Amino acid sequence: MAAPLKVDYAFDTEDLESSAKIVKFAILKKHQQQDAAQEHEVASFEETMLPHMDAAHNLAKWLLRNEEDAQDVVQEAYLRAFKSFSGFHGSNGRAWLLTIVRNTSYTLLKKNRAVDLTTTFDEEIHTAGYESVSPAAILEHSENAELIKEAMDALPMEFREILALRHQEGLSYKEIAEIAQIPPGTVMSRLSRARAELKEYLAARIGKDK
Amino acid sequence: MNCEEATKLMDGYLDGELDPITSQTIEQHLRDCPNCEQKYMANRALVNAIGSAIPYYKAPAGLRERIQCSLREEIADRPARAVPRLLVTRKQPEPRTTLFGTPWNWLSLGGLGLAAAIIFAAIIFSNLAPMLRRPGADQFLATQLIASHVRSLMVNHLTDVASSDQHTVKPWLDAKLDFAPPVVDLASEGFPLIGGRLDYLDNRTVAALIYQRRKHFINVFVWPGEAAARPALAMSHQGYQLLHWADPDFNYWAVSDVSASDLQTFKQQFEAQRSHH
C-alpha cells in the first residue's frame, strides 16, 4: 500500500545544504531589519570576544565541574559582556571576559547554595603516607591526565581557578589578581598553596595505589 | 637571604614574576645552597609537568551559535527596536522559553530546532530500520511521524493555538477535528502545556499537543485508535526519545529530546490525568 520509501533522504548532502541555506537566509533577513549600527556593534563584539570562547568555557568548567552549567554560564557571561561592551576600552579582552565568567559562575554557585570556597579535602587521602613518595615518582604520573583531573577536581574552587588561569591561560600575576579579585601580593602565596595541595593529592593517590 | 625566605618566593621566581633585584638575590642563594637548588629544580619540573597536563576543556560545538543567537536576540529585544521585536515575537506562544531570563525567539529556536530535527530524522531512520522493514501501516506511519516532527520544529510551526490553558486548546482542536482529543494540564507535574497544532498523519488530520519540560519540547501526536490497542513502544538513541502508547480510544506518539525516564513520567502523568476526566 505504501509508496516505496526513500529512507536516505535525510542523509542527502544537497538536502542538508539547502536546509542550512534556509536558516542562513532567515537570519540574513532578520539582520536587514536591524540598524546597521547595531549589527556593527555585535560584529565588533564578536570579533573581539568570540576568540576567547575556549578560555571562557575552560574556566567555567573547572569552576562548576558540570558541562551544562558551564555552557549556561558562558552564554550568560557573553550576554553580560555584550551589555557592558561600550564601557570596555582595554586591550585585554580575554582577562575582561574571564572576570565576567568567573563572577557569573560564583553567582550561579551561590544561587545553588553549593559554594565550595572552603577547603573540602579528603582527610583520608590527605593524611595517607605520601611522605614516602618522591617528586620523581609524582613526575612519572604527571602525564596521567585522568589522575590530574581527579586531583584538580578535589581542590577547593579558588585553587582550581588560580591553577587554570596560570597554567592553562598563562596569565600574569597582575591579570590573575584582577580576575580573581585578590590583592596582587596574594597571588603568589595562593598559587604556591594550590600547587602544594595538588602535589600532595597526587602523592597521596600514588602512595595509596602502591 | 635564608632558605625559608627563598622557599617562600620560589613560586614567584619560577613564574618569572619577581622584581629583578629579588630575582638576583634568589639566584645568588640557589648558587650558594645546593639543597635549595635541588628543591627548586625538582619543583620546577613538577609544576611545569602538572601544569601542562591539566585537561583543557574546549568549548563544545554549538556553543558559538548559541551565543550568537542570544546576542541577536538581545539586540532585537531592545525597547528602541520595537518593530523588529514585534515581527519576531508576534507568533510566540506563552510562556516564552527562557534561559537565565533571556528570551529566545523562534528564529534561534528554529535554527537549533532545524539542526536537531535533521539529526533526529537521521537517528530515527537508523533506529527505525528494523521497524521500517515491517510491512504496511507502521512503515508508512513512521515516515510521516518523522516528517511531522521535523516540520514542527521549524520557525513558527510549533503551535497553531498557543495557550497553557487546556480549556482554550481543547475547544480549538475539537472545532477543527472530527474527534475530541484529550488535553490535560500537567503544569504541576512539571510539563506545562504550550499549545496545540493540527497535523496530518496516517492519511488523516491529527491533533498535536505541545508540552514543555524545562528547555525541551514534547510533541504528542493524538488520533483515534484502532479497536485493538497495541503495546507501548519506546525507542531512544543519543538522547532523543520516541514513545508510543495507546488506550481504547486513541493512539499516542510522544517525541522529544528529554530523557527516557522524563518521557515515561510524562506518559504516566498524562494517562493518570486522562483517566481522571
Among A88, A111, A134, residue at a domain's last position: A111
Q: Residue A45: its pLDDT value, please? A: 92
Among A111, A136, A154, residue at a domain's last position: A111
pLDDT-wise least confident of A28-32, A61-65, B261-265 = A28-32
Phi, psi of B127 (to 5 degrees): -75, -35
Cα distance between residue B4 and residue A163, in whole Å: 24
**What is the end-to-end Cα distance of chain B in Å, rounded?**
85
A62 and A95: one domain? Answer: yes
- Give the tens place of pLDDT for each residue, A43-84: 889 989 999 999 999 999 999 999 999 999 999 999 999 999
Q: Under an 8 A CB cutoff, do A72 and B100 touch?
A: yes
Q: Under an 8 A CB cutoff, do B51 and A61 touch?
A: no
Cα distance between residue B9 and residue B26, in whole Å: 8
Q: Under an 8 A CB cutoff, do B81 and A148 touch?
A: no
A106 and A147: one domain? Answer: no
A127 and A200: one domain? Answer: yes
Task: Answer with the residue of higher pLDDT: B159 or A165.
Answer: A165
Per-residue burial over B242-273, b = 16 or more CB atoms within 10 Å of its CB, e = otherwise: bbbbbeeebbbbbbbbbebebbbbbbebbeeb
A101 and A22: one domain? Answer: yes
Cα distance between residue A136 and residue B143, in whole Å: 62
Nearest Cα of chain A lies from the Cα of B170 at a distance, in angstroms, of 32
Which secondary-structure segment (H or E) carries A176?
A: helix A173-180
- The mean of the pLDDT values for chain B is 77
Is A1 near chain B, with CB under 8 Å? Answer: yes
A94 and A28: one domain? Answer: yes
Nearest CA in chain B to A23: B111
A183 and A147: one domain? Answer: yes
Helix A93-111 vs helix A67-83: crossing angle, to nearest 10? 120
Residue numbers in A near B7 (CB within 8 A): none
The sign of the torsion formed by the CA atoms of B16, B20, B21, B26 equals: positive
Nearest CA in chain B to A30: B84
| Touching A: B residues 103-142, CB under 8 Å | 107, 110-111, 114, 118, 121-122, 125, 129, 132, 136-137, 139-140
| Touching B: A residues 147-186, CB under 8 Å | 148-149, 152, 163-164, 166-168, 172-173
Q: Under an 8 A CB cutoff, do B46 and A138 touch?
A: yes
Among A111, A143, A171, residue at a domain's last position: A111
A51 and A88: one domain? Answer: yes
Which secondary-structure segment (H or E) carries B98?
A: strand B98-99
A9 domain-assigned: no
A130 and A84: one domain? Answer: no
Residues A162/A176, Cβ–Cβ less than 8 Å: yes
Q: Under an 8 A CB cutoff, do A135 and B125 touch?
A: no
Q: How many angstroms separate the Cα of A95 from the Cα of each of A31, A50, A74, A174, B268?
A: 30, 13, 14, 10, 50
Neighbouring CB atoms inside 10 A of A147's CB total 19
- Give the tens place of pLDDT for each residue, A103-157: 999 999 888 765 444 444 444 444 444 456 777 777 777 778 888 999 999 999 9
Closest by Cα among A79, A97, A110 to B99? A79
Q: How confident is the model at residue A18 (pLDDT cuts 50, 70, 90)?
A: low
Q: Under an 8 A CB cutoff, do B136 and A142 touch?
A: no
- Give the tens place of pLDDT for each residue, B135-187: 345 545 655 666 676 667 765 677 888 888 888 899 989 888 888 999 999 98
Residue numbers in B near A27 (CB within 8 A): 72, 107, 111
Q: How many angstroms separate the Cα of B112 from the Cα of each of A13, A23, B267?
A: 19, 10, 25
The predicted complex's ipTM stands at: 0.76
Residues B182/B222, Cβ–Cβ less than 8 Å: yes
**Looking at this protein, which amino acid is placed at residue B186?**
L
Is B41 near chain A, with CB under 8 Å? Answer: no
Nearest CA in chain A to B72: A42
A40 and A97: one domain? Answer: yes
Domain of A103 in residue numbering reads as 14-111
Q: Residue B239: its pLDDT value, please? A: 52
A63 and A149: one domain? Answer: no
The C-alpha cell that represents A100 in the structure block: 565576567
CATH classification of the domain holding A107? 1.10.1740.10
Q: For B55, which DSSP code? A: P
Q: Residue B226: its pLDDT value, please? A: 65
